[in-house]
Structure 1
């Protein structure tokens, strides 16, 4: 997330990601003032260790007024990872991201926020039984087990976050259900696939 680290001898810069497969020893050297997050999920298939560089990642600018943002897919459907799909979103000031509201209840997700301070963002999680709102700042983590999960920022900064999905191996994709009230909103060029 911030600074640089060395993983198995590979230098990782800010926003680079490493995939470490099951039953693999890993050495991690974190440089001073760096911030690192580690996500894990059960796995059975042993793929190779690899590093994904931000500069080599697939990127989309979604240019829909009110929810303009850049989406970067770091570990995508075509990458060898049993469960993970991961990337970054950087929204424009005062705009929505994770929008139109969508859900993928069989694929839990985590958002790790950054680059928001001195402002803040608001993360919503909405389903048939509950509506929750969380005020988020730099390095906050929100776990999204289910439900629609749009968010927005103040006009001081955009809302920025790393996203990590842990999907069942047979459903490791970016297929989502859009909230019925928002189904006619334009999606633009996107990483998401609408059911």
Structure 2
């Protein structure tokens, strides 16, 4: 396993990918994630091998060809602009991603047994869910949740948190199989915005200056670190949360999960010390900034 659970942006690239986390890299068996950046007119080709994979635009549009079948992804300008469409590639497939104008694309994946059919996921069919209340309100885009899309093992969702709010809270874990809990290997991939909508530049500063915070803890695991745009955090075990969006910087994270459970699930259990917080949300209004966007654009 890597020596650190946090992988700073640009520190874990390989084979032409800006970020490349394999099960071997993480020291586990199923979950993986790559992030692909393409210049205008550029293409990338790869094999899925023993893993199913989703091509999810983070910024930009692309054409995805899977074993000769082509899907046009409208994508989005950035992760806060709208919910994106996506393409599914099964294991043992050949994939080409081409972007006419360039862009950034996440490739969440999971080792699996069954070989399903290539498929297109329309943005309009992605369930947008509001979770929490008060300053723990956040948006979940269930594009590849167990109920949202039919993969074999892969589970993936996007979470958007308004600046100043706490997300992934109460802290929860999924490292034991039992009542209401399954074993899942999880990756967090972060992107951060600005409330003024400024693009990176001399006056607004680079995206690397945008900050948030992430907590992961268990016996032998203790992480509370600043996370920046493009960082990833591995969760091999233990409680994780909160994910904290600093004032001025709305937070996006992509969750990639998979494990040995025979059915796809996101079953987890809260840290008993903080489970009571859920009851405190009853009757509390949600943050009116959520949902932050949907398939039609910003809200």
Assess same fold via TM > 0.5: yes
Give the RMSD, CA atoms, in angstroms: 2.0
**2:160 pairs with 1:90:** yes
2: distance between equivalents of 1:180 and 1:63?
17
Alpha carbons 2:214, 2:225 under 8 Å: kept: yes
1: distance between equivalents of 2:266 and 2:219?
22
Q: Secondary structure at the match of 1:66?
A: helix
Alpha carbons 1:97, 1:159 under 8 Å: kept: no
Q: Secondary structure at the match of 2:273?
A: helix
Q: Per-residue deviation at 1:48?
A: 1.1
Alpha carbons 2:190, 2:254 under 8 Å: kept: yes
What TM-score, normalized by structure 2, do the two folds share? 0.59
**Structure 2 residue corresponding to 1:39, chosen from 84, 92, 108:** 108
**2:223 pairs with 1:154:** no
**2:260 pairs with 1:168:** yes
Larger radius of gyration: 2
1: distance between equivalents of 2:259 and 2:134?
30
Q: Per-residue deviation at 1:171?
A: 4.3
Aligned to 1:22: 91
Aligned to 1:192: none
2: distance between equivalents of 1:31 and 1:114?
23
Alpha carbons 1:53, 1:74 under 8 Å: kept: no
Aligned to 1:112: 189
- Please, which runs of 5 or more residues in structure 2 have no aligned partner? 1-57, 77-83, 176-182, 194-206, 283-299
Q: Deviations over 1:143-182 (max 9, x none)?
A: 2111111110111122211111122251420110100111
Q: Deviations over 1:84-142 (max 9, x none)?
A: 11111011211111111111122111111113345311111111222112221222121
CA gap of 1:124–1:63, structure 2 versus 1, over 3 A, is closer
2: distance between equivalents of 1:139 and 1:155?
18
1:76-87 aligned at under 5 Å gives the runs: 76-78=145-147, 79-87=149-157
Aligned to 1:103: 173
Alpha carbons 1:3, 1:31 under 8 Å: kept: no
- Please, which runs of 5 or more residues in structure 1 have no aligned partner? 190-195
Q: Give the ranges of 4+ consecutive aligned residues of structure 1 lying more than 4 Å apart after TM superposition.
A: none
Deviates more, 1:29-38 or 1:157-166: 29-38
CA gap of 1:54–1:139, structure 2 versus 1, over 3 A, is farther
**2:124 pairs with 1:55:** yes
Alpha carbons 2:89, 2:119 under 8 Å: kept: yes
Alpha carbons 1:52, 1:75 under 8 Å: kept: no
What TM-score, normalized by structure 1, do the two folds share? 0.87
Q: Which has the higher strand share?
A: 2
1: distance between equivalents of 2:138 and 2:166?
8
Alpha carbons 2:142, 2:157 under 8 Å: kept: yes
Q: Per-residue deviation at 1:70?
A: 0.6
Q: Secondary structure at the match of 1:173?
A: coil
